[in-house]
């Protein structure tokens, strides 16, 4: 793990305390990390597949053996409720190593018999080889889960990695480095460089000529900058970017279930989930009932310290991000929104007064052209609007530069299939949200991403296919 002379504070989003200081990698540190990954690549790629699988399972075991340490790290850095970290973030982090380790051992490759022009037989088969050194640039909203979502398949395919975690959440990745080393994975296979984006570690890493591919989860503007850097050397990218995800609730839906699930979609992890729902369209006959249900759900959320088992909503990641979200809260009212609930900063204990706390917020009454309905806010909020016809709501849901996911609620099976085909997204849930099978394709359409992750789809980025043709 590289670290330069410059340091930056790691600040608690709960109370503003300085948790510690992090060494910001220099350009020389980044170069050293890439060279270490390059040096380790041949031996790691040549390791027998069963041995790599064994080591990755050992990493998963190591994560779960230190689950308390990982939960504490995520709670301290990110502010997510401990129950959420223990239920979702850390177990999924371990699962990402297991599922991709097992997948590479079982995924088939193709072979074809053919006849050459002279009539002699020939055979083609495919080899799957590592892509090389992968730069992994991670977000702060689900640090361990989203880091291992990339590192797991990268290592399983025989690549080596250089990981840059978000400067907001540096600790879990440092812990992961300890677990990986303790599992017996050779030095240089997994490398960590801490720091910022533009003009710092992230820029130097994505521009480095020794990197063979870049994978990134985060906002679209940053993805554009990384894509420009990766263009030099024609290096491939895998991106999961921004979203303004719609939910569509028809009058025949199970309304209680829809409210309970979409309240999670809007408010879980303080709204800091890439798959979260900030736009909800509800068929007019049940609109008032749905809004009342969402209001009750939002007001029932328990806001408090993330290590309190009763807490359901922690803080935003930082005061700076809260200022951004509060700016949208003010913009909604200026644009004429009806405030259903929330809209400000909640009362918290005096010891938490310097934390990035914010109220879960619901609006109605805005046109689809409003910034609130078009721009990703990434906070615990949603706008709810009525609709009257299926074709109408499809057009409104698709009227966005983004296309990450959608959630459709109806008991009409034919309509569910029509809607799934009509919405322009990479992931469509019917009567559910955030229900994930890690073998399935994950990613966004339009400006929400490039490529797909999950199952064999991850292997397509983290490996190269080589056709071998043998004249017999």
The DSSP annotation for 223-252 comes to HHHHHHHHHTTT--EEEE----EEEEE-TT
460 belongs to the catalytic site: no
Closest among 424, 406, 422, 403 to 414, alpha carbons compared: 422
Q: Give residues with Cβ within 8 angstroms of 209, minimum separation 6.
A: 232, 233
* Residues paired with residue 248 on neighbouring β-strands, in sequence order: 281, 408
Pair 53, 101: CB distance under 8 Å: yes
> What DSSP designation does 442 have?
B
Pair 210, 36: CB distance under 8 Å: no
Closest among 192, 195, 104, 184 to 152, alpha carbons compared: 104
Distance CA 88, CA 274 (A): 15
> What DSSP designation does 88 have?
I
Per annotation, catalytic residue among 74, 168, 203, 240: 240
Could you give the residue ranges of the DSSP H alpha helices within 120-199? Answer: 143-156, 171-182
464 belongs to the catalytic site: no
How many helices and strands in the chain, by DSSP H and E?
16, 20
Distance CA 211, CA 233 (A): 9
Per annotation, catalytic residue among 157, 274, 373, 405: 274
How many CB atoms within 10 Å of residue 457?
A: 17
Instruction: State both tokens at 222.
Output: 């940053």
Q: Give residues with Cβ within 8 angstroms of 207, minimum separation 6.
A: 229, 232
Distance CA 449, CA 275 (A): 13
Residue 79, φ and ψ in degrees, nearest 5: 85, 5
Could you give the residue ranges of the DSSP H alpha helices within 318-412? Answer: 319-334, 371-374, 390-398
As annotated, the active-site residues are: 240, 274
């Amino acid at each position: 793990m590289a670290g330069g002379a410059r340091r930056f504070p790691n600040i608690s989003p709960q109370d503003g305390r300085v948790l510690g200081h992090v060494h910001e990698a220099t350009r020389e540190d980044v170069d050293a990390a890439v060279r270490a990954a390059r040096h380790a690549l041949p031996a790691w790629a040549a390791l027998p597949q069963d041995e790599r699988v064994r080591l990755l399972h050992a990493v998963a075991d190591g994560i779960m053996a230190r689950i308390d340490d990982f939960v504490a790290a995520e709670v301290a850095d990110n502010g997510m409720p401990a129950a959420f970290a223990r239920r979702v973030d850390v177990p999924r982090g371990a699962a990402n190593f297991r599922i991709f380790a097992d997948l590479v051992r079982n995924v088939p490759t193709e072979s074809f018999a053919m006849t050459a022009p002279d009539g002699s037989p020939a055979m083609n088969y495919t080899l799957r080889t590592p892509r090389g050194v992968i730069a992994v640039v991670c977000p702060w909203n689900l640090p361990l889960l989203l880091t291992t979502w990339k590192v797991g398949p990268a290592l399983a395919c025989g690549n080596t990695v250089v990981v840059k975690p978000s400067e907001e959440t540096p600790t879990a990745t440092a812990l992961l480095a300890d677990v990986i080393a303790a599992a017996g994975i050779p030095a240089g296979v997994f490398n960590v460089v801490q720091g910022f984006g533009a003009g710092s570690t992230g820029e130097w890493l994505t521009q480095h000529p020794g990197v063979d591919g870049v994978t990134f989860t985060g906002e679209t503007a940053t993805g554009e900058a990384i894509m420009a850097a990766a263009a030099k050397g024609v290096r491939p990218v895998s991106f999961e970017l921004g979203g303004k995800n719609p939910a569509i609730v028809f009058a025949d839906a199970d309304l209680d279930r829809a409210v309970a699930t979409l309240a999670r979609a809007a408010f879980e992890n303080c709204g800091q989930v890439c798959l979260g729902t900030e736009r909800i369209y509800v068929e007019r006959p049940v609109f008032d009932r749905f809004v009342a249900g969402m209001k009750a759900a939002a007001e029932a959320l328990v806001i408090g310290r993330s290590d309190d088992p009763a807490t359901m909503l922690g803080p935003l990641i930082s005061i700076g991000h809260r200022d951004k979200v509060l700016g949208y809260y003010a913009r909604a009212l200026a644009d004429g929104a009806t405030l259903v609930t929330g809209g400000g900063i909640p009362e918290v204990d005096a010891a938490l007064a310097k934390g990035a706390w914010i109220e879960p917020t619901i609006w109605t009454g805005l046109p689809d052209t409003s910034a609130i309905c078009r721009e990703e806010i990434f906070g615990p909020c949603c706008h709810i609007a009525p609709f009257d016809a299926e074709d109408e709501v499809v057009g409104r849901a698709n009227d966005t530069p983004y296309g990450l996911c959608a959630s459709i609620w109806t008991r009409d099976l034919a309509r569910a299939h029509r809607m799934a085909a009509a919405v322009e997204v990479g992931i469509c849930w019917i009567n559910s949200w955030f229900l994930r099978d890690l073998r399935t394709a994950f990613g966004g359409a339009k400006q929400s991403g490039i490529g797909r992750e999950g199952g064999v789809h991850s292997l397509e980025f983290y490996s190269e296919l080589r056709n071998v043709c043998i004249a017999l």
